[in-house]
């Protein structure tokens, strides 16, 4: 999601010892909120992750041991709650009423409190030693270059700055419309859902959960947060920072569990909420769940939760290079970043590249290949793929290469000389060419547009009179998160944008698919369940609903008489 904003790089070849190369490491020992030292987490010095429920940090009866994604050593133990231990979480959710912890008519001082928490948290996260701590902790669990990890911290800090002071209560700004007679006015308010759930993936361990968590809190909700256990240590530490900044411990529950148990938590809440306390008898179901992750899980949750869900699911994201060839070096660099930064593990990563025939006649593809070869495991500009194995990615490549006219452009090989465990993937940045006409064939389309959450993209070419075929390919896609139209030709851009859907679309010479900052909407379009993140509009859409209150106080007309029945 974020842009590469840090200026430093990691160059030491050791899978652990890069962290000692930064002088700021010594400050991690003195951070008042931290319970771990990012540069020391290893197989020889493993650490633990706890749960937070009803204001207390708790353990569980079982631990999930997380392997180091760079060498396979057991380096983090996560206290995962099992099905027999969910009752405290169920009860905690059930105690929050539908009208939330605060709303425009109830406890408005909480808007101010959360503005103060954001101010303090933004200040802390801007401190070099704190930013460095989180960047390195992100690297340990979701290996990516220091610039990418630091960029995630930077965007998170800027988001918190955006909601300091009065900005939180401004999210709840209401409006009024004059009525039909004296004393009548209608007022529109943003209203919380009350108890809500947030489920987030591994690839952005800080930015996605923190931005969604704060949005939920700002609007008056009581969230339970579940982050992928592989990376949940990052948000555990961030919650401790938020508590240090004044966030009440009871405001957020933090659960580590497998997916089945979390599904049971939500289901148990549905079944139990109305029986917990008489005062909450009418609170029968969880009001809203925000899910960021795979489309398959999103569809299951949508059914399980009776549609009470907002989704930012997988994205098979496309980029179209228009007919106006210019700035080849720059465009090639952006394409390399979009496809292969974070080893392609971004929901916004460039999955398919449509290049106009004019670009094929240039040196663009040669430059793109050259940029891909610069990526090294040494500095984590290429690294472990945490959800797709090496064999699965290579098998997918081989299936694509059986399509008529397809060919390997570059990559297509496993990384060598590493200790990444086999449960993860490790391949070179890969691009495969598939002819446009073949992509559109019914027997090929689903295969070609299958998302591979790794350093893998499909490239195709179109002639000037084949733009309708490109648009047809875009129309058939089912995921509509990000897109890019690389052209300064206004008529060409107009044609593509007017015939496509993607919720976050970049256009112009510098268009990209990744690198969304905190200052604009990021989310899919074309789906009523689509969730946004980061902006006031996204927060209000995802974490509140509209409530209309109509004041009708009189006076009753002086000569009023009871009318005939109607």
Q: State the DSSP code for 508.
A: S
Q: CB neighbours of 189 closer than 8 A, spacing ≥ 6?
A: 103, 104, 172, 174, 546, 547, 548, 549
Annotated active-site residue in 312, 451, 461, 495: 312
């070609």: which residue's tokens? Answer: 448
Residue 235 to residue 444: CA distance in whole angstroms = 41
The candidate with the shortest Cα–Cα distance to 457, out of 374, 342, 338, 293, is 338
Residues forming a β-bridge with 240: none
Q: Which residue matches tokens 């007309």?
A: 557
Q: How far apart are CA 246 and CA 234, in angstroms?
A: 19
Closest CA to 488 of 329, 326, 333, 354: 326
| Residues 6+ positions from 148 with CB-CB distance below 8 Å | 2, 4, 6, 341, 342
Cβ–Cβ < 8 Å for 86, 261: yes
The answer to whether residue 312 is catalytic is yes
* Residue 347 is among the residues annotated as catalytic for this protein: yes
DSSP 10: -
389 touches 413 (CB < 8 A): no
CB atoms inside a 10 Å sphere around CB 196: 27
Given phi > 0 = left and psi -120 to 50 = alpha, else beta, which region is 49? beta
| Strand spans (E) along 348-502 | 350-356, 407-410, 430-433, 456-462, 482-486
Distance CA 202, CA 227 (A): 7
Distance CA 240, CA 123 (A): 15
Catalytic hit among 96, 245, 335, 347: 347
| Order of strands across the sheet that contains 545-552 | 175-178, 184-191, 545-552
Name the residues annotated as catalytic: 312, 347
């Amino acid at each position: 999601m974020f842009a590469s904003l840090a200026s430093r790089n990691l160059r030491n070849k050791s899978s652990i010892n890069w962290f000692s190369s930064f002088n700021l490491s010594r400050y991690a020992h003195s951070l008042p909120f931290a319970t771990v030292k990012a540069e020391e987490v290893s197989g020889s010095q493993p650490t633990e992750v706890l749960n937070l429920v009803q204001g207390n940090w708790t353990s569980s009866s079982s631990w999930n041991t997380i392997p180091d994604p760079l060498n396979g050593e057991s380096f983090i133990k996560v206290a995962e709650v099992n099905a027999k231990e969910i009752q405290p979480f169920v009860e905690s959710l059930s105690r929050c009423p539908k009208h939330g912890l605060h709303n425009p008519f109830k406890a408005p001082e909480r808007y101010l409190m959360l503005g103060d928490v954001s101010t303090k948290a933004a200040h802390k996260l801007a401190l070099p030693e704190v930013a460095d701590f989180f960047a390195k902790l992100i690297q340990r669990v979701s290996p990516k270059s220091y610039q990418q990890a630091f960029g995630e911290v930077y965007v998170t800090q800027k988001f918190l700055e955006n909601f300091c002071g009065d900005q939180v209560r401004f999210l709840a700004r209401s409006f009024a419309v004059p009525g039909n007679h004296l004393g009548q006015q209608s007022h529109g308010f943003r209203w919380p859902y009350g108890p809500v759930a947030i489920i987030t993936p591994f690839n952005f361990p800080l930015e996605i959960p923190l931005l969604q968590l704060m949005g939920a809190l700002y609007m008056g909700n009581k969230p339970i947060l579940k982050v992928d256990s592989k990376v949940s240590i990052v948000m555990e530490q961030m919650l401790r920072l938020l508590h240090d900044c004044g966030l009440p411990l009871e405001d957020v529950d933090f659960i580590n569990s497998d997916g089945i148990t979390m599904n049971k938590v939500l289901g148990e809440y549905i079944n139990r909420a109305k029986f917990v306390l008489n005062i909450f008898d009418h609170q029968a179901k969880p009001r809203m769940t925000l899910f960021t992750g795979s489309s398959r899980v999103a569809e299951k949750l949508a059914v399980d939760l009776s549609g009470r869900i907002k989704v930012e699911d997988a994205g098979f994201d496309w980029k179209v290079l228009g007919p106006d060839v210019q700035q080849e070096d720059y465009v090639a660099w952006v394409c390399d970043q979009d496809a292969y930064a974070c080893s392609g593990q971004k929901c916004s990563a460039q999955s398919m590249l449509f290049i106009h025939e004019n670009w094929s006649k240039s040196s663009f593809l040669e430059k793109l290949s050259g940029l891909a070869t610069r990526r090294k495991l040494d500095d984590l500009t290429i690294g472990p793929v945490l959800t797709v194995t090496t064999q699965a990615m290579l098998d997918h490549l081989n299936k694509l290469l059986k399509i008529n006219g397809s060919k390997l452009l570059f990559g297509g090989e496993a990384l060598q000389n590493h200790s990444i465990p086999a449960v993860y993937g490790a391949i070179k940045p890969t691009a495969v060419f598939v002819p446009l006409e073949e992509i559109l064939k019914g027997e090929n389309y689903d295969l070609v547009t299958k998302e591979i959450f790794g350093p893998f993209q499909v490239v195709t070419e179109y002639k000037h009179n084949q733009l309708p075929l490109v648009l047809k390919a875009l129309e058939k896609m089912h995921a509509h998160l990000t897109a890019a139209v690389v052209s300064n030709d206004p008529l060409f851009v107009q044609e593509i944008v007017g015939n496509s859907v993607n919720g976050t679309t970049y256009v112009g010479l510098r268009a990209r698919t990744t690198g969304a900052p905190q200052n604009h909407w990021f989310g899919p379009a074309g789906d009523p369940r689509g969730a946004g993140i980061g902006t006031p509009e996204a927060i209000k859409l995802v974490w509140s609903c509209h409530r209309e209150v109509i004041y009708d106080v009189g006076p009753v007309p002086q000569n009023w008489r009871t009318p005939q029945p109607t």
